[in-house]
Amino acid sequence: MEDKNLTIGDIAEELGVSKTTISRAISGKGRIGEKTRKRVLSYIEEHNYRPNVIARGLAQHKTFNLGVVLPGDYNVVELPFFQKCMLGISRVASARGYDVLLSMVTAENTSQLKRVVTNRKIDGAILTRTLANDKPMKYLLQKEVPFVVIGSAADERVIQIDNDHRSACRELTEKLLLSGIRKIALIGSDESHIVTGNRRRGFEDAFAGNGGRKADRKVFMNVVDDVQVQGIVEQLLADGTECIVCMDDFLCGCVLNALQMRQIAVPEQVQVASFYDSTILEYRNPSVTSIRFDVEELGQKACETLLAMLEGEEVERRTLLDYEVRMRDSTKQA
């Protein structure tokens, strides 16, 4: 029979592991030894553990709902990022007996988020994008709603889960400079996004620590469409630029298309790299040098951190997850 009083905390205490370990064992995701996973699952099966959400909610004054805030102005290319974030969040939330409510916001309209907070429909929230002037973040701070951001923020009060974009972009740029490139350009996106600033700083860091190696660089920011990219590529080709680095796979796709239209061979005539990886770039011909981030892990870690906060646990203010620089055919190796 099911032990109706059994909680995930009881299981963790009985087995001598953390609640996060129990969550990962149930979800099947995250770093956990196979022996520990089997031990947890065996105990759960033996006791027929099922979280009674309604009873727990009434007793603890909780809804057992988590709010996930998505930007309403995302584009089609960004969609896989948010889908993978959601997958990571949902796996952990489900394993801990929580449901997920989605709210769409823009820089000017936060009504959906305000509605779920006002109606007390969520216990906490996860923001999936951070802006320089972030109204959803300010609102949640004002209402004292526990929340975590996927990304970075200047406010010391905000709990942040992010990839180490600055270090990653510095490392990739350094590798390009070491290969002998002397003229390089960066094409960047919307500067109101915090991640954009971090990626640009990483690019600039590579020159600051260039060890005396000289390289000319051009930077183009707030580039949002193919028309802008076409004009920039024309300018860079006329200037003899050897390598074009793009902040994301959308811009990189635009650059590759512009080069193909002009019958410019990659990497023989111009090298191309991206500060973000996707299957779109991996299966291009040639495959594109880029940086891989585990987006599902971002969502998973954000949810684990929020749940720890809701349990009253101390959490790190800022967590930076790892990355992998993938050197592929679009650049010449040193």
Q: In the chain, which segments carry CATH 1.10.260.40?
A: 1-50
Predicted confidence at residue 168, as pLDDT, reads: 97
Q: Which of 258, 237, 250, 243 has the alpha carbon at shortest distance from 186?
A: 243
**Mean per-residue pLDDT for 188-215?**
84
Residue 28 has pLDDT above 70, yes or no: no
Q: How many CB atoms lie within 10 A of CB 3?
A: 13
- Which has the higher per-residue pLDDT, 76 or 208? 208
Q: Spell out a b/e string for 138-160, using b for 16 or more CB atoms within 10 Å of the CB, else e.
A: ebbeeeebebbbbbbbeeeebbb
Residue 52: strand pairing partners: none
* Higher-confidence position of 269 and 28: 269
Q: What is the pLDDT of residues 122-154, one digit of tens each?
A: 999 999 988 878 899 999 999 999 999 999 988
Whole-number pLDDT of residue 92 = 95
Mean pLDDT, the chain, rounded, equals 87
Tell me: pLDDT of 57 over 70: no
Distance CA 109, CA 12 (A): 41
- How far is Cα 110 from Cα 91, in angstroms, rounded to an integer? 26
**Contacts of the segment 233-238: beta carbons below 8 A, 24+ positions apart:** 233/258, 233/259, 233/262, 234/258, 236/185, 236/270, 237/262, 237/264, 237/270
Span between the terminal Cα atoms of the chain, in Å: 64
Q: Full-prediction pTM beyond 0.85? A: no
Say if residue 3's pLDDT is above 70. Answer: no
Residue with tokens 């990653």: 168
Confidence tier at 280 by pLDDT (50, 70, 90): confident
CATH number of 1-50: 1.10.260.40
42 vs 44: CA distance, rounded Å: 5
Percent with pLDDT over 90 in the chain: 60
* Between 56 and 105, residue with greater pLDDT: 105
51 upstream amide cis, omega within 30 of 0:
no
For CATH 3.40.50.2300, list the domain ranges present in the chain.
Answer: 165-292
Q: What is the token pair recorded at 88?
A: 């990571």
Q: Mention every residue, 6+ apart, whose C-beta is less than 8 A from residue 326.
A: 277, 289, 290, 291, 292
Residue 70 in contact with residue 102, Cβ under 8 Å?
yes
Q: What is the pLDDT of residues 243-266, one digit of tens each?
A: 999 999 899 999 999 999 999 999
Q: Kindly tell me if the per-residue pLDDT of 282 is higher than 90.
A: no
CA 301 to chain centre: 10
Per-residue confidence band for 77, with pLDDT thresholds at 50, 70 and 90: low
pLDDT at 333: 65
Question: From 3.90.1260.10, 3.40.50.2300, 3.40.50.10540, 3.40.50.300, which CATH number describes the 165-292 domain?
Answer: 3.40.50.2300
Percent residues over pLDDT 70 in the chain: 90
In angstroms, the CA 235 to CA 243 distance is: 13
